[in-house]
Amino acid sequence: MRYRRVPDETIRRLPKYLRALLLLMDRGQKTVSSVALADLMGGNPGRVRKDFSYFGGFGKRGFGYDVETLAGEIRKILRLNVVNKAALVGVGNLGRAILAFPSLKKYGFEIVAAFDNDPKKIGEKAGGIVIEHISQICDLEQRGVYVGIIAVPRQAAQQTADDLLEAGVRGIVKFSQGYITVPKRVKVITIDIAMDFARLPYYMPRSPSRAAAFRRTGSL
């Protein structure tokens, strides 16, 4: 597929469209209009149509979009239509939470290996996976693993990234705080929930909201 220049913002929304579509499928809804989708996602219907138009457009005029088809197309674009095997490094509290996180599987991710440097944890099982020693990170590529997940203390983040890349990983999800440097063709996604929390107080009203509590607007 050759697409015309797709805005990063559009790519950022695709997973959210997919989430909405999965919800609609759960509800047994077969078809959806750009207006209904925009409503669910909180946005403009035109933007919904434009987002899909970058890939050629998936709808039928007069009908809307077939929910299942659209979900399939988005999965193809994002390459979630195949299983993406991942390796986790750092099996602390956070690592265990990630291993136990149910919805990753829904989006095609499967954590197939877990590494730690604590000798006491080696051989132990977490989330159905045997924990291996960090020194065993090598040839992840041969094991079909292209995604690395970093959940180590921040001092170890760079070393872990280097090890993962050396083992053949092509993309990284980093939960650790420290900064890391990687070759530019490797994509790193940083997840830090504190960054999201930190935006909240700025937007909170200074006076109570109870009075208005049941005048609802928009969905999230």
Binding site for DNA (CB under 7 A): 5, 7-10, 33-35, 43-47, 49-50, 52-53, 56-65
Q: Is 171 in the site for a second copy (CB under 8 A)?
A: yes
148: left (phi over 0), alpha (psi -120 to 50) or beta: beta
Give whole-number Cα distances, 26 to 31, 34, 106, 165, in Å.
Answer: 12, 19, 13, 38
Provide the residue type at 129 as one letter: I
Decide: is 125 part of the binding site for a second copy (CB under 8 A): no
Which of DNA, a second copy, none does residue 57 bind (CB under 5 to 8 Å by kind)? DNA
User: Residue 91, exposed/middle/buried by CB under 10 A (0-12, 13-18, 19+)?
Assistant: buried
In angstroms, give the least distance from the CB of 123 to DNA: 47
The count of other CB atoms within 10 Å of the CB of residue 21 is 24
Q: Which is nearer to a second copy, 61 or 215 (CB)?
A: 215
61 or 197, CB closer to a second copy? 197
Q: From the list a second copy, DNA, none, which binds 218 (C-beta under 5 to 8 Å, kind-based)? A: a second copy
DSSP SS3 for 114: strand
Measured from the CB atom, is 50 or 96 closer to DNA?
50
**Out of a second copy, DNA, none, which partner does residue 43 contact, by CB within 5 to 8 A per kind?**
DNA
Among DNA, a second copy, none, partner that 168 touches (CB below 5 to 8 angstroms by kind): a second copy
Residue range at the interface with a second copy (CB under 8 A); choices 52-60, 63-71, 99-107, 113-121: 99-107
C-beta neighbour count of 99 within 10 angstroms: 19
Q: State the Cα–Cα distance between residues 118 and 131, nearest whole angstrom.
A: 10
Q: Which is nearer to a second copy, 74 or 131 (CB)?
A: 74
Q: What is the DSSP letter of 209?
A: -
